[in-house]
């Protein structure tokens, strides 16, 4: 599988992103490293303010994360506090609408697929329907909005899950995620990277808290519910050096090219929440003959998004390192600075951005992937390594 994008002899690159963001700079360096002209940068702020942007027919257009920019966050969520957790539903609707207003060009990111990737419920359903192993979920698909904590508890009971995750449907970087454990006698506790102000506002924090008061847990969930919730079973992950472990695997043009191990003593392995990079060689040794299967699962997940050149797959190894499930697929999951490609991947010596540039240069010339504006992506409901922001690591919308 390869993303359907034409590769001119000398591609004219364009990037929709935040100009000062390190992601944009890393990609621009990868483009210039192969002798291509520097990419034209189109700021997300301009797209959002002006209601779209037009690209030349031969421009190869990459969409990058809108995160880590206070002005863009205000335009997407109407909030002046970047650390606020709430507002992801509005963020999603405005982002997908903005993507739909982009016109022309040869696109590396399919708008309809982006709408699915940024909705954990839709993404879970797409993977499950294709037989990709995923954690059991009571909210898979678009048919079950949850009004608050009581409905979350009921959904978990349907799963027969005493340990489960509650995630904002459109969140990223573990913002607003609760890892919930229940026990006989009605006891409930949750691990959550959220602080609650006296007036009830939710803010991201680097200090992960453990709550044992169900009323406090319910208040957080009830505040998150209007933006959409996803509930899934908490899978027993494998361990490395007595720490829970998972992997971010980057898939470029259908091939698993890069992988990083993340470990933590907490349920969330995100590096900005205290997670640490693990030893990939040790993981490959522990997985043994199952390692190729692990990469193949990631490639199967990416294949559900054939119009998107690159995704980052969160792969959860189960206890024993012989089985794997896909936790999430991230549209902007390629921020792994300095990490070079896996042996045999075809991306040896290249970082994630260099691998994408190389894939476009290799792409067939007879398969342009063009997009015209649409007011509403068809999958949009009618109503995403270290991803901490450079200026404020608690920002609700660090890139996925």
In this prediction, residue 382 carries a pLDDT of 27
Say whether pLDDT at 177 is over 70. Answer: yes
Decide: 237 and 244 in contact? Cβ < 8 Å.
Answer: yes
Cα–Cα distance measured from residue 63 to residue 42, given in angstroms and rounded to the nearest whole number: 10
Decide: 268 and 274 in contact? Cβ < 8 Å.
Answer: no
Decide: 339 and 260 in contact? Cβ < 8 Å.
Answer: yes
pLDDT band at residue 377, thresholds of 50, 70 and 90? very low
Any residues with CB less than 8 A from the CB of 103 and at least 6 apart, and which? 52, 53, 54, 55, 371, 372, 373
- Which DSSP symbol is given to 339? P
In this prediction, residue 10 carries a pLDDT of 80
Which residue in the block uniquely carries the two structure tokens 């392995």? 269
Say whether pLDDT at 367 is over 80. Answer: no
Q: Side by side, which strands form the sheet with 40-43?
A: 40-43, 12-17, 59-63, 106-107
Q: Side by side, which strands form the sheet with 178-183?
A: 202-211, 187-196, 178-183, 163-168, 229-233
Cα–Cα distance measured from residue 291 to residue 328, given in angstroms and rounded to the nearest whole number: 19
DSSP three-state, residue 357: helix
In this prediction, residue 392 carries a pLDDT of 37
According to CATH, the topology of domain 1-132+236-390 is D-amino Acid Aminotransferase; Chain A, domain 1 (3.30.470)
Cα–Cα distance measured from residue 87 to residue 102, given in angstroms and rounded to the nearest whole number: 23
- Report phi then psi at 33, rounded to 5: -65, -25
Cα–Cα distance measured from residue 32 to residue 29, given in angstroms and rounded to the nearest whole number: 5
- Report phi then psi at 14, rounded to 5: -140, 140
Decide: 169 and 119 in contact? Cβ < 8 Å.
Answer: yes
Q: Among positive and negative, which fits the CA dihedral 212, 215, 216, 221?
A: positive
Cα–Cα distance measured from residue 88 to residue 117, given in angstroms and rounded to the nearest whole number: 14
Q: Mean pLDDT in the chain?
A: 90
Decide: 262 and 271 in contact? Cβ < 8 Å.
Answer: yes
Among 92, 395, 375, 79, residue whose Cα is nearest residue 226: 92
Distances (CA, A) of 193 to 91, 206, 231, 365: 20, 6, 17, 47
Strand partners, 167: 230
- Report phi then psi at 197, rounded to 5: -75, 165
The rounded percent of the chain whose pLDDT value lies above 90 is: 86
In this prediction, residue 389 carries a pLDDT of 31
pLDDT digits (tens, 9 = 90+) for 183-216: 998 899 999 999 999 999 999 999 999 999 999 9
Cα–Cα distance measured from residue 307 to residue 254, given in angstroms and rounded to the nearest whole number: 10
Domain ranges for the chain, please list them.
1-132+236-390, 149-233
Cα–Cα distance measured from residue 306 to residue 299, given in angstroms and rounded to the nearest whole number: 11
The rounded percent of the chain whose pLDDT value lies above 70 is: 88
User: What value does the mean pLDDT take over residues 33-57?
Assistant: 97
Cα–Cα distance measured from residue 241 to residue 5, given in angstroms and rounded to the nearest whole number: 42
Which residue in the block uniquely carries the two structure tokens 């995403």? 384
* Torsion angle defined by CA atoms of residues 79, 80, 86 and 89, in that order, rounded to the nearest 10 degrees: 30
What pTM, to 2 d.p., does this model score?
Answer: 0.89
3-state helix, strand, coil in the chain (%, to 5): 30, 25, 45
Cα–Cα distance measured from residue 318 to residue 288, given in angstroms and rounded to the nearest whole number: 14
Decide: 144 and 159 in contact? Cβ < 8 Å.
Answer: no
pLDDT digits (tens, 9 = 90+) for 280-319: 999 999 999 999 999 999 999 999 999 999 999 999 999 9
Number of C-beta neighbours around residue 400 at 10 A:
23
Cα–Cα distance measured from residue 220 to residue 200, given in angstroms and rounded to the nearest whole number: 8
Say whether pLDDT at 39 is over 90. Answer: yes
């Amino acid at each position: 599988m390869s993303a359907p994008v034409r590769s001119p002899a000398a591609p004219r690159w364009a990037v929709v992103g935040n100009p000062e963001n390190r992601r944009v700079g890393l990609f621009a360096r990868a483009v210039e490293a192969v002798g291509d002209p520097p990419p034209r940068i189109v700021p997300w702020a301009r797209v959002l303010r002006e209601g779209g942007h037009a690209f030349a027919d031969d421009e190869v257009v990459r969409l990058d994360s809108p995160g880590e920019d206070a002005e863009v966050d205000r335009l997407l969520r109407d909030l002046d506090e970047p650390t606020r957790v709430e507002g992801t539903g509005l963020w999603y609707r405005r982002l997908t609408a903005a993507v739909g207003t982009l016109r022309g060009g040869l696109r590396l990111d399919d708008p309809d697929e982006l709408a699915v990737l940024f909705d954990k419920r839709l993404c879970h359903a797409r993977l499950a329907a294709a037989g990709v192993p995923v954690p059991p979920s009571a909210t898979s698909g678009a048919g079950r909005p949850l009004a608050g904590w009581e409905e979350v508890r009921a959904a978990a009971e349907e799963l027969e899950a005493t340990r489960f995750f509650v995630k904002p449907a459109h969140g990223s970087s573990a913002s607003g995620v609760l890892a919930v454990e229940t026990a006989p006698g009605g006891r409930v506790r949750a691990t959550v990277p959220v602080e609650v102000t006296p007036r009830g506002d939710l803010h991201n924090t680097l200090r992960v808290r453990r709550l044992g008061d169900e009323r406090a847990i319910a208040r957080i969930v009830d505040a998150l519910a209007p933006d959409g919730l996803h509930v899934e079973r908490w899978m027993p992950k494998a361990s490395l050096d007595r720490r829970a472990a998972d992997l971010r695997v980057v898939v470029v043009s259908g091939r698993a090219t890069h992988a990083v191990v993340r470990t933590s003593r907490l349920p969330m392995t995100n590096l900005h929440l205290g997670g640490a990079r693990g030893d990939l060689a040790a993981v490959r040794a522990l997985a043994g003959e199952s390692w190729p299967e692990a990469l193949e699962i990631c490639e199967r997940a990416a294949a559900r998004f054939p119009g998107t050149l690159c995704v980052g797959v969160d792969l959860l190894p189960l206890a024993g390192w012989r089985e794997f499930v896909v936790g999430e697929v991230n549209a902007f999951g390629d921020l792994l600075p300095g990490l070079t490609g896996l042996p045999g991947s075809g991306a040896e010596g290249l970082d994630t951005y260099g691998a994408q540039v190389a894939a476009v240069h290799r792409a067939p010339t007879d398969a342009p992937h063009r997009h015209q504006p649409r007011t509403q992506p068809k999958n949009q409901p009618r109503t995403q390594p270290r991803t901490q922001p450079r200026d404020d690591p608690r920002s609700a919308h660090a890139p996925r």
